[in-house]
Structures are given as structure tokens and as C-alpha cells.
Amino acid sequence: MYKVNIRKATYDDIPAIFKLVKELASFEKAESSVWSTLKDYEVNFKSGLFGVHLAEERSDVVGLCLYYPTFSTWKGKMLYLEDFIVSSDYRNHGIGQKLYNAFISEAKIQGCKLVKWEVLDWNEGAIRFYERNGAIIEKNWWDCKVVFERTTND
């Protein structure tokens, strides 16, 4: 069993955060979809656009929950969980549960009415995890987006 510390990220953690996000993109077979740069993360973290809880084993960052505040016109204030990852070597040791619990606690501390996120339909392990934690998996909503500009990745 790993001895893991869950904590809020600092600016100095940005390279490790960016590395884990790329690992998630690889897991999802979508490496070419990562257009953001390390600089994007630095600027937007510094401005407070998003927050991150990290799982740290010794001095290595092995997992994260990256989230940001948003507003539901029907429910009120909420946190959106953009990325949730535990490095492959550290999965199935309870680290994801600790990170998820920290994210849920953060939402409650911030006075949120709900949290929301997406899960890929083929990621059965994640779906089971979320269902065990009381999540409602809505299958009748479709994602929509408009892409304005693609930048090159550093």
C-alpha cells in the first residue's frame, strides 16, 4: 500500500500536472487532442481559473483532480471536474477514492449545489467507480463544442 498525501496544488506543481494530463490523453488514445501548452497552464492557474488536488507519493505526483467553478442555471453554483487521473502504476490502491473525496469536499467547502463531469462510454472501470460513489450517469445528453483556434503544443 502506498502512503499518499492529498493536497492542493501550487504553481510549482504545474509541470507535473501538465505531464499527468498528457498521460490521461494517452490513456484515452487522444494525444493529438492536447492543444494546450505548459504556458497555458501556468497563466490560467496563476489567474485562479482552475484548481487542482494532487495525490503525492513521497515527492512524486501520482494523481490529480483538476476542476473549475461554473454555474448551473437550474441548480446554482457547481464545480466541473475536468480531469481526474491516477498514474497507471498507482491505480487500484485507493488513491483515486482519496482524490475524489478531496474534490467532493472542496465542492462542499465552496458551497456548491452539485459537481459535474464527463466519462467516456468505454471506460467501464471509471463508470463503476462513479456509480459506487453515487454518481448519476446521464446518457441522454450529447456534448457540443465550437473550436476557435488550434495552437501548437510545446
For residue 22, being part of any structural domain is answered with yes
CA neighbor of 63 nearest in space, from 95, 25, 94, 93:
95
Count of the separate structural domains present in the chain = 1
Catalytic residue among 2, 80, 90, 130: 130
Range of the domain at 53: 4-132
Determine how β-strand 60-72 pairs with β-strand 76-86: antiparallel
For residue 99, being part of any structural domain is answered with yes
- Predicted TM-score (pTM) of the model is 0.91
- pLDDT by residue, tens only, the chain of 154 residues: 789 999 999 999 999 999 999 999 999 989 988 999 999 999 999 999 999 999 999 999 999 999 999 999 999 999 999 999 999 999 999 999 999 999 999 999 999 999 999 999 999 999 999 999 999 999 998 889 898 877 555 4
∠ Cα 34 85 65 (to 5°): 95
Residue 130 designated active-site: yes
